[in-house]
Amino acid sequence: MKHFLVDIQYLVSYDQISQVLPDHRAFLQTGYDQGILLLSGPKVPRTGGVMIARSENLEVLQAFFLNDPYQVNHLARYE
């Protein structure tokens, strides 16, 4: 397994982010349940978030994050 630092950067205002936040948190829980996510939290100020994840490779991790409500709704970008 490889470990990754995932940097999320909001593309819209936090007001828009906050509307999807409960769905995003539910999505994150699936990552914890699957053993993909090890740590996650918001940046201060609220411009995005940071996560530590593990995966077989980058492609598998990228496929997982395609289902994040932030990604589905084009609210954030991931690096």
Which residue is listed with tokens 């995966």?
55
pLDDT for the residue 64: 97
Cα angle: 18, vertex 19, 25; to 5 degrees: 70
pLDDT digits (tens, 9 = 90+) for 41-58: 999 999 999 999 999 999
pLDDT for the residue 26: 98
Provide φ and ψ at 77, rounded to 5°: -120, 155
Whole-model pTM? 0.92
pLDDT digits (tens, 9 = 90+) for 13-34: 999 999 999 999 999 999 999 9
pLDDT-derived band at 62, boundaries 50, 70, 90: very high
Q: What are the tokens at 41?
A: 């939290």
- CA distances 77 to 33, 48, 64, Å, are 23, 9, 14
- CA distances 54 to 14, 35, 37, 51, Å, are 27, 8, 6, 10
